[in-house]
Structure 1
Amino acid sequence: MVHLSSSSLPVSLAIELQKDWPYRTQLILQPPSSLWPKPRFHPFPTVKLHSLLDDEHWETAVARLDMTLIVAGAPNREETIHTLIEFIQRNYLPPSVRTSSLPAEPRNKRTKFTHDSPSEEHQLLLAPNPILSFDHAPSLSAYLNKYSQTPFIVRSHLIETGWPAICEQDSTWKDKTYLVKAVGRGRIVPVEIGGEYTSEGWGQGMVPFEQFLDRVGWGSCAAWSERYESDQEASKEPALYLAQHSLLNQFPVLRKDILLPDYVFSGPEEDVPKGYKPPSNEEALVINVWVGGNGRSSPSHTDPFYNCYAQVVGQKRIFLTPPTQSDAMYPFSSSTSSALSDSSSTESTSFTAHLLSNTSQVPIFTPDNRPPDRDTYPKFYSDALGCSLEGVLNEGDMLVMPFVLKSL
């Protein structure tokens, strides 16, 4: 039981919540009001505290509560944390979104995309084979019997199934104003800072959500892309990337904007890789979000689970290699990493020593589209490249993949 009555209420509240509180801990605001099981806040302290604290204090409180969700996960207390954030935002942080003078893209209630002959940007850059593509999703029976071991793209699947994040005018994820208003003020997100996580100088940090969207040039019209590239060149600020984050757990208000494809509940029972285990949570499901600016890429890597990869905004080029060719992709922390030992300094060797063995050393997509060096990666060319696949995901497309090495 904690009494909070000073002007440092939001900061103290957030700090205390990050500690290991008992399950039935009560927060007392005066008069006493229990947050469990049905949070109730009396309006009296609201008026009093509003006059004592400015927006910065309340945004700091929300950010500290976000840290609890991001770092610790707040087991058994997620609902309490979300309730506190909503209470602070509703009473002390009214919506305030910086608007841009850039032209907005016209939006329709239901957007339709066409996939006719591939444009120049859809041509294969490295792999000799395209990823199998369907205009309509195969049935569950066809998936389990014919395609569960084969990567494939379902064109416009998010459109056909009506994802609000891409179809609905008032909840499209293209719209920065919608995203910022939906999650509210003071929110922060974990990001990667710098280049790929295999690069020197790479780091991690927390940034305000709205600032992050600005930094990655959120929006897809030409004016946004041009401003993003010029801003990055002018400021020399390191690129930011939100990678593999449970964003919908942190911002549950966005969960209603996506729909789960049936494939995620129908994994194959046969020909499953040895030792494979589905996610261990109650739903046997993990939902992660990636957000990056123009030109952002990830090194080739493997994931522990079967994947359905939905492209909500923008485009992404994908390179896939069969898991049988893992050694030919020169994973870190393996005997094949010796391929770089002759040309690497002790410092760079120690830098890569911490990397997981699920990551490849072969640079698949580079800013200048330069292919990997043949002398450095001979097995990639002799073994892996010939059976590799490549494709481009457009807005609304979904990639379904079993275990493969992929570069995004």
Structure 2
Amino acid sequence: MAAPGGEAAAAAGDALWAEVRALLPGAEEALPLALSGAVEECVPPLLRRARALLYGAGDPPRGPAAAALRRLGDVLRDYAWEKLNAGPWRDVGKAWRQVYAYGCLFGALAEAAGGGPLAPAVRLCDLGLLMGASVLDNVLARLVRVLQAHLPGGPPRAAAAASAQSVRVDPPPTPVIQPEDALPHLHCPSLEHFRDNYLIPQKPVVLEGTIDHWPCMTKWSVDYFCQVAGCRTVPVELGSRYTDEEWSQKLMTVNDFINQYIVNKNRMGYLAQHQLFDQIPELKQDISIPDYCCLGEGEEDDITINAWFGPEGTISPLHQDPQQNFLAQVFGRKYIRLYSPQDSENLYPHESHILHNTSQVDVEDPDFIKFPNFRNAASQSCILMPGQILFIPVKYWHYVRSLDISFSVSFWWS
């Protein structure tokens, strides 16, 4: 006779699999494996074999069948991984990204069917969302939401938030901005006023009162991210700025990032990525595209939304971007200094192609012997506060330093 605990675990596993199975077609032949381009001829048979194991080895596939499905997922991911890293990302064929996504899907399904911990399955879904291409109507995004709901609770979230808030008791010193250098502030300007006075003449401005209605302004905190996304795997930039020699990138869970780089102030790391809101739709529901983006030439789908989450002291070196930028501050403060594109020659951009949009000058500690013309560059500055949006015109040089634990959302638009 099975122990009551074992019966409960089995019932929970069956309930989970019923939810997972509902995301997939009812029959093997109804699950398409179409790819957007050509791949090596050994790959389609591997995909078909994995599909057959999923549908033909019992419901759910367990024991040897689950192990075989897990191995096939590993093989498909390894095969695709070589192609994803063989050259520039823009040259990677979509078909190979789809193969990688299928490998993640079959691996995650094997983990879910096996009855073990679900964290590996969640990680595989996130890897597929980050590196793969959408398959089966973005099934990985739907699968990870089901899996996340069945994860056991982690450490008390309030304790994590309290630890993060204890990083600094006293507020850091705020840079002094002279009135003649301060950026102008506007409260909810009309579309026409913003267009005529700032967009067309390409002048930066701080907008106030335009995002007060966003749910994130009252919901988001370190504690909230632990709750909503703590188990999710995301890319993290390690180091205080991307021009440092020791700068690198690493995949880790949001919980690990917060514990290692938000709570522990002796290490520098920054969550900066444009896929976060697609990867975790709960966050995307809490923000909106600013109305002023309708003045652009592109479609709404062409707007790139970026997340920037990190501790006090993280720095974006002086650089320029190829699109208009609305930088919205959700919590924390940022010191930002801007320079006109007309001053580019005085800002000493790197000569390498990779960093040609980045200045060699340390803005807050410039070497005037090495970069004498930097004295001639005129700047404007602001302390971007929660609830404010900074309009950064295309190609405008900007330097950013976080004064607190900080979360910002940027919108790149044309």
CA offset digits 1:288-325 (Å, max 9, x no partner): 11111011111011111101100011000101000111
- Structure-2 residue corresponding to 1:374: 368
- Structure-2 residue corresponding to 1:356: 355
Could you tell me how far 1:17 is from its partner in structure 2? 7.2
TM-score (norm 2): 0.66
Is the CA contact 2:70–2:111 (under 8 Å) kept in the aligned structure 1?
A: no
- Three-state SS of the structure 1 residue aligned to 2:302 is coil
CA pair 397-320 structure 1, distance change in 2 beyond 3 A: same
Matched residues in 1 for 2:260 and 2:240: separation?
Answer: 14
Matched residues in 2 for 1:256 and 1:13: separation?
Answer: 35
Structure 1 residues 49-64: aligned runs within 5 Å: 49-50=114-115, 53=116, 55=117, 58-64=118-124
Could you tell me how far 1:377 is from its partner in structure 2? 1.2
Matched residues in 2 for 1:68 and 1:357: separation?
Answer: 31
- Structure-1 residue corresponding to 2:338: 320
Q: 1:181 is matched by which residue type in structure 2?
A: Q
Which residue among 286, 289, 294 is the counterpart of 2:307?
289
Is the CA contact 1:17–1:68 (under 8 Å) kept in the aligned structure 2?
A: no
More helix by share: 2
Q: 1:212 is matched by which residue type in structure 2?
A: F
Matched residues in 2 for 1:101 and 1:322: separation?
Answer: 44
CA pair 364-11 structure 1, distance change in 2 beyond 3 A: farther
CA offset digits 1:324-363 (Å, max 9, x no partner): 1112111111xxxxxxxxxxxxxxxxxxx46320011111
Long gaps (5+) in structure 2: 1-47, 55-60, 81-94, 164-171, 401-414
Matched residues in 1 for 2:256 and 2:363: separation?
Answer: 30
Could you tell me how far 1:145 is from its partner in structure 2? 1.1
Q: 2:221 is matched by which residue type in structure 1?
A: K
Matched residues in 1 for 2:207 and 2:300: separation?
Answer: 28
Could you tell me how far 1:84 is from its partner in structure 2? 2.0
Percent pairwise identity: 31
Could you tell me how far 1:179 is from its partner in structure 2? 2.2
More strand by share: 2
Which residue among 115, 127, 147 is the counterpart of 1:67?
127
CA offset digits 1:137-164 (Å, max 9, x no partner): 21001011111111011234322xx110
Matched residues in 2 for 1:181 and 1:101: separation?
Answer: 12
- Three-state SS of the structure 1 residue aligned to 2:373 is helix
CA offset digits 1:264-306 (Å, max 9, x no partner): 1213x7xxxxxxxx5xx76221101111101111101111110
- Three-state SS of the structure 2 residue aligned to 1:287 is strand
Matched residues in 1 for 2:288 and 2:159: separation?
Answer: 33
Aligned-residue RMSD, C-alpha: 3.4
* Number of positions where the alignment pairs a residue of Structure 1 with one of Structure 2: 309
Matched residues in 2 for 1:21 and 1:329: separation?
Answer: 41
Structure 1 residues 387-406: aligned runs within 5 Å: 387-403=378-394, 404-406=396-398
Structure 1 residues 229-378: aligned runs within 5 Å: 231-233=264-266, 238-267=267-296, 283-333=301-351, 353=352, 355-365=354-364, 371-378=365-372
Matched residues in 1 for 2:314 and 2:269: separation?
Answer: 9
Could you tell me how far 1:406 is from its partner in structure 2? 0.4
CA pair 292-14 structure 1, distance change in 2 beyond 3 A: farther
- Structure-2 residue corresponding to 1:196: 241
Matched residues in 1 for 2:347 and 2:371: separation?
Answer: 8
Question: RCO higher in 1 or 2 (8 Å CA, sep ≥ 6)?
Answer: 1
Matched residues in 2 for 1:194 and 1:86: separation?
Answer: 31
Matched residues in 2 for 1:184 and 1:173: separation?
Answer: 13
Q: 2:245 is matched by which residue type in structure 1?
A: E
- Structure-2 residue corresponding to 1:99: 157
Matched, 1:87 2:81: no
Long gaps (5+) in structure 1: 28-34, 36-40, 106-118, 218-227, 270-277, 334-352, 366-370
TM-score (norm 1): 0.67
